[in-house]
């Protein structure tokens, strides 16, 4: 059986690692098409090398452009390749233009589509990603949902057939690679100390294409750095282009001695060494996946608008402040792990300072990643509403013993026999987004579907 995988953006490269491995294990032939949506070396080639991904069979080289232009270029080339390869199924990931183009080109040729990360919704149709998600889900044959919420979103839209709650492949990937990183080596490279810095990632169009939002976030970051907090900001190419369009004279909290450095950065870009240091704030060119995972684990807190980073922060035990007005990963807000505060300067500054315990009375600070488990599966609670995550803790929920513990930087939930055969050690660990067997489940379902015809 032959399956075509269509990827084009950094998060898709990462997610595809464990699925590609499982496809090979189960004897399925995979043809990889890289659309070239992310084409910068630091956003594409580096990931294939570091994660030892198979070299793409086809590279479309689409590059950047308006959404319609970019998607149209992909459709033109994808259709020709699919007609040539005649795959049994097309596999797409997430919510990018590559996702939609892959799903559309396959559906038009009556080729079944499998969508990984189906059912996610921000309920904001001004986001191009939201349009991509909805359209892809409605034309997919197999829909692999990462959470109960995602399944419910699909049900509300009348999609019930072919839906599977399998967990999140990002958790599988984190389990695979977290133990391989050398945290101290990564921190030393970036001149940072563990749990003493803020990590920033901003790239969503709703922030980069909105002057006021981007200005608020940038001012917040400079203001935080003025409190002698170390800040590292790996800058996405889209974000840097947006920086250059800002009216920099209106950016307020930049100290006079740093003004020329910032103007020089916007004018000339990154120097050869790939870093611009402005006071306590370092702007960096995009980092590798291993470096990013290390930075996420080593940070005190993360400021982000990325869906993937929101999840990875949870997997490694570092709380995230989400600079958006809505999120697809609402479960992490509901359980008190992440904060959804929007692109608002004062709220961002206040939230970060609280995490660093600067100028805030101790009794007001909640510096543990989880204050309480108050809304897992809507009403999963400890009897006394407290969850000390620095230790293992057990309690009873729906007549099942649940053990919560932090091990190797990962928050896990042991549901005893709830997940099935207790002799399978992989099934003993559970979190909101799966038990580490997502890739195995996805490929097994695809395999069975194709065998049954």
Pairing mode, if any, of strands 410-414 and 400-407?
antiparallel
In this structure, what token pair is assigned to residue 221? 């970051």
Measured distance CA(78)–CA(6) in Å, rounded: 9
Maximum pairwise Cα distance, the chain: 69
Measured distance CA(169)–CA(434) in Å, rounded: 8
Q: For residue 93, what is the enclosing H or E element?
A: strand 89-93
Measured distance CA(410)–CA(293) in Å, rounded: 12
Q: How far apart, in Å, are the Cα atoms of 363 and each of 269, 270, 418?
A: 43, 42, 38
For residues 300 and 318, the answer to whether their CB atoms sit within 8 Å is yes
Measured distance CA(379)–CA(390) in Å, rounded: 22
Residue of 394, 312, 388 whose CA lies nearest to 10? 312
Select which of 34, 115, 203, 236 is catalytic: 203
What DSSP string runs through 387-398?
--TTS-EEEEET
Q: How far apart, in Å, are the Cα atoms of 407 and each of 63, 317, 390, 414, 429?
A: 41, 10, 9, 12, 11
In this structure, what token pair is assigned to residue 179? 């133990």
| Catalytic residue flag (residue 110) | no
Q: For residue 175, what is the enclosing H or E element?
A: helix 169-177
Measured distance CA(47)–CA(58) in Å, rounded: 16
For residues 357 and 365, the answer to whether their CB atoms sit within 8 Å is yes
In this structure, what token pair is assigned to residue 392? 């293992």
Catalytic residues: 203
């Amino acid at each position: 059986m032959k399956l075509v995988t269509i990827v084009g953006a950094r998060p898709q490269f990462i997610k595809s690692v464990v699925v590609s491995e499982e496809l090979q294990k189960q004897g399925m032939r995979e043809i990889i098409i890289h659309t070239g949506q992310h084409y910068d070396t630091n956003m594409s080639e580096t990931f294939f090398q570091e994660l030892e991904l198979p070299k793409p069979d086809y590279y479309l080289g689409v590059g950047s452009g308006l959404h319609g232009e970019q998607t149209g270029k992909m459709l033109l080339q994808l259709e020709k390749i699919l007609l040539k390869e005649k795959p049994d199924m097309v596999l797409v990931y997430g919510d990018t233009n590559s996702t939609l183009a892959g799903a559309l080109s396959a559906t038009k040729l009556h080729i079944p589509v499998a969508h990984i990360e189906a059912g996610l919704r921000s309920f904001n149709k001004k986001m191009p990603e939201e349009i991509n998600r909805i359209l892809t889900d409605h034309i997919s044959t197999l829909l692999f949902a990462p959470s109960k919420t995602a399944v419910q979103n699909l049900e509300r839209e009348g999609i019930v057939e072919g839906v599977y709650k399998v967990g999140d492949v990002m958790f599988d990937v984190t389990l695979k690679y977290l133990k391989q990183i050398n945290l101290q080596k990564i921190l030393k490279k970036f001149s940072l100390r563990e749990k003493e810095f803020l990590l920033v990632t901003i790239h969503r169009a709703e922030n980069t294409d909105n002057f006021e939002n981007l200005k608020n976030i940038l001012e917040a970051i400079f203001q935080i750095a003025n409190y002698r907090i170390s800040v590292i900001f790996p800058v996405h190419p889209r974000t840097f282009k947006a920086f250059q369009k800002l009216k920099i004279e209106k950016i307020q909290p930049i100290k006079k001695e740093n003004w020329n450095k910032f103007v020089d950065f916007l004018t000339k870009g990154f120097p050869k060494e790939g870093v611009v240091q402005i006071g306590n704030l370092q702007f960096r060119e995009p980092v590798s996946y291993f470096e990013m995972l290390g930075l996420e684990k080593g940070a005190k807190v993360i400021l982000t608008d990325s869906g993937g980073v929101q999840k990875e922060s949870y997997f490694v035990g570092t709380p995230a402040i989400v600079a958006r007005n809505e999120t697809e990963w609402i479960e992490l807000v509901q359980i008190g792990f992440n904060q959804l505060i929007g692109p608002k300067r004062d709220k961002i500054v206040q939230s970060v300072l609280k995490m660093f315990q600067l100028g805030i009375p101790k009794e007001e600070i909640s510096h543990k990643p989880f204050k309480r488990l108050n809304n897992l599966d809507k009403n999963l609670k400890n009897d006394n509403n407290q969850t000390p995550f620095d230790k293992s803790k057990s309690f009873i929920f729906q007549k099942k013993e649940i053990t919560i513990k932090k091990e190797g930087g990962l928050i896990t939930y042991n549901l005893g026999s709830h997940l099935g055969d207790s002799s399978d050690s992989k099934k003993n660990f559970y979190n909101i987004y799966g038990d580490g067997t997502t890739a195995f489940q996805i490929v097994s379902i695809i395999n069975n579907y194709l065998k049954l015809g």
